[in-house]
Structure 1
């Protein structure tokens, strides 16, 4: 199934794109270069060279320090090679330093390096900056770490924005999608090599433990957003005795199947779209009229119309339903972006595709000159293809497409048939999805937003129940993830836990 990114950095990118507040980083003067001495631990002798490495940190601007760690390419055979893991940190601003707080923005495929470097004040508040070294890292396969590589800019444009002539769901359409997927996978294999089969989340969780050790921490303090909650939960399942203070905000349900994830996300974005329309119709300058149901029908017709008659943008690209769909869901990640969504709908209704492409480009990391700022699309696909099972049997996909359309009539049809991409991938998953209990782990906070479109609230409830030490923190509101972007109740609960170890006696229901 096609899946939208569970990615807090998407929200940060959206804020930067449209000029929202809260994303400008403030830093201290440049620190002197330093080293991080690893903690001494008993590990398999084959892993000793990795766990005993000393990190050397250099200044990389605006008070930040950067370094690179080495991790095994294949954790089951550490001798076959290594990968680089890129790190950036802002040292604690106070002598009360607790340790390192590793931050992951999600995705999969999101750059924790860029998240901390470019959006520190969006990632964490000043209280955490005071008490922790805030560490951003690019997981294996991502960004500045040893990365998945597939297409150049022109090929990526065609992959993301190219139009398919056959009607969606027909045999001809499926055949063309299978060729597109197979060509993309072959390019990823040719340009990435052995790493392509080693970017699963279990391997990334082992990397996380390595980073904990070489940063000099005996326990992992961790803040994971979106997909980063799954990475944190997998870590807790593998290393429960190493869990320190862990916050999982915008949770994924580890036990959910690929189709379960897609269906729940489709319902989540459908709910967020209806919430946007309710707000829009109650205000001024709304491009819709009538009831919410009337407006949903208009959006459905608009998506169908650009397939029948694509709109040409000023740069020559043609706007079809897939790109318009991306432009719709991107502003739904944060309620503060709803005015931009209204502007986009207004422009498309008047035959102008430029605003829609601006939003789709921001979501995909495409710059104005046609190049791409990151490899998030490639990494997103490569990691998901190893983390879930897929089936591209046409009969099964059509049955699921019907179920998605029933569950989310506007959003669902455009999240169907996504299994094609990974069913034609060069590597198959070896992962069995299931509940994660992490017996013996220290208390873990699981934060869920009641109308989060990308990681719906039900997943947070499920994960908090699965984890033997899970504690649910509910934010009653809109948007993707809650910490540092919702209210004081959420912020204080998370900060008091991470800084003082204070576990709420019950869900504060913020």
Structure 2
């Protein structure tokens, strides 16, 4: 995958997949119960139970008042009905200096009516590194009733897309980086992988060195509070998906009394340490693949056989091994390597509607044609047909490596933990294990640590978990809902990453009722 702790929203990945179309039983839900060894690493990392994220003072400090009092100059932009503006935020909240201010891109679409306007609704699709503005303009929200009553608002977080984007590599360098073998079999291959991680980090430092220490989730959450004030809202109404749930929960922890209606869909658990996060996510993708495989073997033309999900996993592993030795032709100068093929399969795990496409592309790869899986991989990496990359794969490690310490510091530590990853996923375990090493070479020391978020005093918050979510396992939603003092857990029993706006009338109705009327879903509500 070339990066660890990557939490993607479905829309961006599957939108590209859908364009390509035109040219069940589940496994274990996670890596174990809360009593298993994997569930205690966060406490071990801090010498006890994780600390609780402390709220900031309610009063705005005088040196930050100019940011809270600024006026935005709106202009028409993008698709019909949208306006854009630029908001200033301090590079360093501890030492605000107008000479180093960041310029953050903001977009909105005013409430369409009928009905009385409720306020602004800020959305974030995840990543970290996903463009919230692109997401808003292309996908969110599905509900016309919500659009009628809210000004829909998005800001690309600091370091992302239009907001002072982190840059690391040239497009050709990124092509080489994504092809790096992430299941090294020899010391030479390990050295090649660690060299790639070092070169990536050096590239980020060279191109974005001044910004790298200031793209943390806490800083992005503080930017959201500035935006709330600038928009004229007393409280923040927010819908965050995937990593956007961590961003929203962090906001709630810092500013609990300013939380309005908040929906956290595809939730992360902030109380987990970095190794736990990587092990859990590995198991989450195994759960998703098991569900895909159980569906695939029902089809007589399933390229992974028709025996069992376990056998399908062995068939996929065999394909990866074959590609490791002999990459497949793709009709262009890039061949389909094992690493790119794995990424392509992972991309299809985010949405079950991509499963038929994946079956077709796996069959092609078996015949030596890697074009389809390469296209899926490109959609995941946000590589356009002209070879240009969006900055998500640069912003992602920049945020992740600042938010938490490195999961592993040496290849030897990864090797020692390979059995845990392989247990979590026989198919993806090695890939995820070695991807967890990338922060070891990051040029900036982490400023964050594992913390529980309780947000005492916050208004009711709705946390959504999908039982077979690959990227944010269901157990994380349960963990976040248990931490937040005012949270209600809403469960979607199904496949794919996140739930709101993805076809469940039950989920959509519950969330829309909450956003429009403030009525929280019943306790322990489950939807299919």
- For normalisation by structure 2, the TM-score amounts to 0.89
- Contact map agreement 1:11 1:480 (CA 8 A) in 2: no
Q: Deviations over 1:16-60 (max 9, x none)?
A: 431599xxxxxxxxxxxxxxxxxxx95212111111110111111
Counterpart contact for 1:177–1:420, Cα < 8 Å? no
In structure 1, the partner of 2:195 is: 179
Cα offset for 1:318? 2.1
Q: Matches of 2:73 and 2:521 in 1, distance apart?
A: 38
- Residue among 175, 200, 203 paired with 2:216: 200
Q: Does structure 1 residue 341 correspond to structure 2 residue 342?
A: no
Counterpart among 296, 314, 317 of residue 334 in structure 2: 317
2:139 equivalent in structure 1: 119
Give the alignment partner of residue 394 of structure 1, picking from 411, 419, 430. 411
Find the counterpart in structure 2 of residue 426 from structure 1.
Answer: 443
Pairing partner for 1:92 from 81, 88, 111: 111
SS for the counterpart of 2:437 is helix
Aligned match of 2:501: 484
Contact 1:142 1:375 in 2 (8 A): yes
Look up the SS of the partner of 1:355 in the other structure. Answer: helix
2:84 paired with 1:73: no
Q: How far apart are the structure 2 equivalents of 1:426 and 1:288?
A: 42
1:311, 1:318 within 8 Å by CA — same for their partners in 2?
yes
The alpha carbon displacement at 1:379 in A equals 0.3
State how far apart, in whole Å, the 1-side matches of 2:168 and 2:449 are.
Answer: 27
| Structure 1 residue 279 displacement after superposition | 0.9
- Identify the residue that residue 11 of structure 2 maps to in structure 1: 11
Tell me the alpha carbon deviations over residues 55-94 of structure 1, each in whole angstroms, 9 at most, x when there is no partner.
1111113111111101000111112621111111111111
**Aligned-partner SS, 1:66:** strand
What does 1:257-272 correspond to in 2, within 5 Å? 257-272=273-288
Cα-Cα RMSD:
1.8
Answer with 327-336 or 79-88: which moved more. 79-88
Note if contact 1:2-1:416 (Cα within 8 Å) is conserved in structure 2.
no
Pairing 1:380-391 to 2, within 5 Å after superposition: 380-390=396-406, 391=408
Compared CA separation, residues 457 and 292, structure 1 to 2 (3 A):
same
Per-residue deviation, 1:458: 0.3
Provide closer, same or farther for how the CA distance between residues 487 and 131 of structure 1 changes in structure 2, counting only shifts above 3 A. Answer: same
Higher relative contact order (CA 8 A, sep 6+): 2
Match of 1:276 in 2: 292
327-336 or 500-509, which deviates more = 500-509
Is contact 1:105–1:225 with CA below 8 Å preserved after alignment? yes
Partner-residue secondary structure (3-state), 1:315: coil
Distance in 1, Cα, partners of 2:523 & 2:326: 54
Q: Which residue of structure 2 lines up, in the alignment, with residue 38 of structure 1?
A: none
**1:392-431 deviations in Å (ceiling 9; x for gaps):** 2233211222210122111111101224321111101121
In the TM superposition, residue 288 of structure 1 has moved relative to its aligned partner by 2.7
Give the deviation of 1:162 after TM superposition: 4.1
Whole-Å separation in 2 of the counterparts to 1:312 and 1:452: 32
Other-structure match for 2:383: 366
Counterpart in the other structure of 1:29: none
Give 2:349's aligned residue: 332
In 2, distance between residues paired with 1:489 and 1:117?
25
Question: Aligned in 2, Cα 1:492/1:215: closer, same or farther, shift over 3 Å?
Answer: same
1:48 aligned partner: 65
Gaps of 5+ in 2: 22-57
SS in 1 for 2:251: helix
Change (3 A) 1:237 1:4: closer
Aligned to 1:101: 121
Is the alpha carbon distance of 1:350 and 1:397 closer, same or farther for their aligned partners in structure 2, counting shifts above 3 Å?
Answer: same
Where does residue 24 of structure 1 map in the other structure?
none
Gaps in structure 1 of 5+ consecutive residues: 22-40
Q: Are residues 104 and 187 of structure 1, via their aligned partners in 2, closer, same or farther at CA, if it must alter by over 3 Å?
A: same
| Residue 4 (structure 1) shift | 5.6
CA 1:174–1:442 in structure 2 vs 1: closer, same or farther (change >3 Å)? same
Whether the 8 Å contact between 1:2 and 1:417 is mirrored in structure 2 is: no
| TM-score (norm: length of structure 1) | 0.92
Q: Shift in Å at residue 3 of structure 1?
A: 2.9
1:90-114 Cα shifts (integer Å, max 9, x gaps): 1111141111100000000000010
* Residue 232 of structure 1: how far off its partner (Å): 0.5
| Alignment size in residue pairs | 485
Shift of 1:266: 1.0
Contact 1:7-1:226 within 8 A present in 2 as well: yes
Closer, same or farther in 2 for the Cα pair 1:227/1:327, shift >3 Å?
A: same
TM-superposed CA distance for 1:214, in Å, is 0.6
Task: Say yes or no: does 1:128 pair with 2:134.
Answer: no
Match of 1:62 in 2: 80
CA distance in 1, matches of 2:436, 2:501: 34
CA–CA distance in 2 between the matches of 1:294 and 1:7?
Answer: 28
Which whole-Å CA distance do the structure 2 matches of 1:366 and 1:104 have between them?
Answer: 21
Q: 2:308 aligns with which of 277, 291, 308?
A: 291
1:406 corresponds to 2:420: no
